[in-house]
Amino acid sequence: MRRDHICHWAGIRLMSGLLSPDGTEYGLSEADMEASYATVKSMAEQIEADVILLRERQEAGGRVRDYLVRKRVGDNDFLEVRVAVVGNVDAGKSTLLGVLTHGELDNGRGFARQKLFRHKHEIESGRTSSVGNDILGFDSEGNVVNKPDSHGGSLEWTKICEKSTKVITFIDLAGHEKYLKTTVFGMTGHLPDFCMLMVGSNAGIVGMTKEHLGLALALNVPVFVVVTKIDMCPANILQETLKLLQRLLKSPGCRKIPVLVQSKDDVIVTASNFSSERMCPIFQISNVTGENLDLLKMFLNLLSPRTSYREEEPAEFQIDDTYSVPGVGTVVSGTTLRGLIKLNDTLLLGPDPLGNFLSIAVKSIHRKRMPVKEVRGGQTASFALKKIKRSSIRKGMVMVSPRLNPQASWEFEAEILVLHHPTTISPRYQAMVHCGSIRQTATILSMDKDCLRTGDKATVHFRFIKTPEYLHIDQRLVFREGRTKAVGTITKLLQTTNNSPMNSKPQQIKMQSTKKGPLAKREEGGPSGGPAVGAPPPGDEACSLGTVQPALSSGLQAQMATDLGQFGVLFKHKPLSQCLYPKQQRQDKAVYQLGHSLQKL
């Protein structure tokens, strides 16, 4: 047993005094077993890990002990595992999370789920419409540390994280078909390690259950199933639901090995083989009686992140939400994809609508509402940024290290598989592309087949219709429009923008009219001594109108000058957001200039 190997193990099993089928004894003696445990513990101490006894059982004249070896984390650090919660509407997703995180059983009438909803209409309808987050903390012994506030019943995330060595982040997604785009964004943008598929035992496999399962399989996210409401379901209906569920998991599209979890032994076996194997655990629980909830908590405690990250890689952070906090400023939240981000680091934020990246500084970092000095790859965090407005940031943007020299792409090629389409897909077809936290409509420019139908594979050339995006080779994407769904992988980036950090001033080219005669004079001076058509308002002489194609007629140039002057495309010394005119002044000038321009044209 080597010291440097122990940190890679999920667990260690020590056996003593067991009998083989022919009656011979094998395993360790009692003294050897205790000595082996002491050896393992000393080795774990050297790599700063804890050895936790999971179970001890009697077998054929001897004992078997299973230990969990978990590496210790710093005082303000913890292991984070993200679990997406999906399933059909009314399957009990929010109710289960309320029971797990708040430690109180449901009353059968929606008591537990009320604590998770964010909007008034969610409370009234009982249906989740937005991406919700909640956490479940475990200490080094595997005990749940969530203790809700005795007055309001709210969770203090800071206290949970301080006591925890491992935190499960639940991503509560919508089950209704109307909110499918929100669910797809949660699955792609929040990068879950695992997926918990909820099935109501009384309703069975209906509605969006298969859609969500197919989405998880397409994104290569391991799935485990939780069958709820077993306290109110007749035994024959429950067995029928389990039979249909096992048949679905064994089908050619899934090729999973379903395992009904009914004891702690089953939990340990499935947890140790869950990530790498095709095993799919099935839990049967009740949120009202609490039946089998302890098995589910034990399973969650044994889960470990699927991906390892290296700190020496250049930092990259994807943004999935933005906020404006009074007294703090602009705050962005998302997931650190790789590298290490520290307080006061300078990163590049983008791409903007022109494909440029802006240099910004990190003012403060919060992780699970707790202030920290740094975040690593695989961790979710929130950043307060200096000197930038929320309106200039959108979901899908990234913050990257300047070492990456990032470039935004308008077009890309991808290998896609059409999961479902009612007719055929041909060039110029448009649909929504979900890729990480990116959510934008793209057009198919060309493909290596004449048309695509359900089940077809092809190499497709896409182009975004609104703004360029920051993409990676081998990044997974979901192509969706109505009932049409396709999944794929990016194989090539095309038409990248040549950009550098927007610290230097952009080149300013003044608009000059080529018209002759009285009209040109009036345009230069404006009617009755007023401002020129397309010129910036008084006091904003530094506002430039950018480059206009020389082949345009003078009338069109004047009209473009009017439009560009209204929106202030480039500003000499100020950011884009400060280049816009005050609202009333902008409206009055736009009406005046447009009317005058149309008369002269």
From CA 315, how far away is CA 440, in angstroms rounded? 24
DSSP letter string, 72-131 = ---TT--EEEEEEEEESTTSSHHHHHHHHHH-----SSSTTGGGT--SHHHHHH----S-
DSSP 271: H
Terminal Cα-to-Cα distance of the chain (whole angstroms): 87
CATH architecture of 79-302: 3-Layer(aba) Sandwich (3.40)
For residue 181, give the 3-state DSSP assignment.
Answer: helix
| Residue 81, number of CB atoms within 10 A of its CB | 21
pLDDT in tens, 265-314: 899 989 988 877 789 999 999 999 999 999 999 999 999 888 878 888 99
pLDDT cut 70: percent of the chain above it: 74
* Tokens 């939400």, located at residue: 321
Q: Where are the domains of the chain?
A: 6-71, 79-302, 316-394, 409-496, 518-600
pLDDT in tens, 559-569: 444 444 444 44
For residue 177, give the 3-state DSSP assignment.
Answer: helix
From CA 337, how far away is CA 414, in angstroms rounded? 21
CATH architecture of 409-496: Beta Barrel (2.40)
| Residue 109, number of CB atoms within 10 A of its CB | 8
Taking residues 325-333, report their average pLDDT.
94
User: Pick from 88, 193, 183: which is nearest to 131 by CA?
Assistant: 183
pLDDT for 33: 81
The answer to whether domain 79-302 and domain 316-394 are alike in fold is no
From CA 221, how far away is CA 231, in angstroms rounded? 30
Sequence-ordered strand ranges (E) for 201-278: 223-228, 257-260
For residue 273, give the 3-state DSSP assignment.
Answer: coil
User: Pick from 410, 516, 520: which is nearest to 463 by CA?
Assistant: 410
Q: CATH classification of 316-394, choosing from 2.40.30.10, 1.10.8.60, 2.40.50.140, 2.40.10.120? A: 2.40.30.10
From CA 526, how far away is CA 209, in angstroms rounded? 65
- Between 12-26, 134-148, 188-202, 289-303, the lowest mean confidence (pLDDT) is in 12-26
- CB-facing half-sphere around the CA of 252: CA atoms within 13 A: 0
Taking residues 536-555, report their average pLDDT.
41
Taking residues 502-512, report their average pLDDT.
44
Q: Is the dihedral of CA 486, 490, 495, 498 positive or negative?
A: positive
User: Pick from 338, 347, 292, 332: which is nearest to 313 by CA?
Assistant: 338
Whole-prediction pTM: 0.77
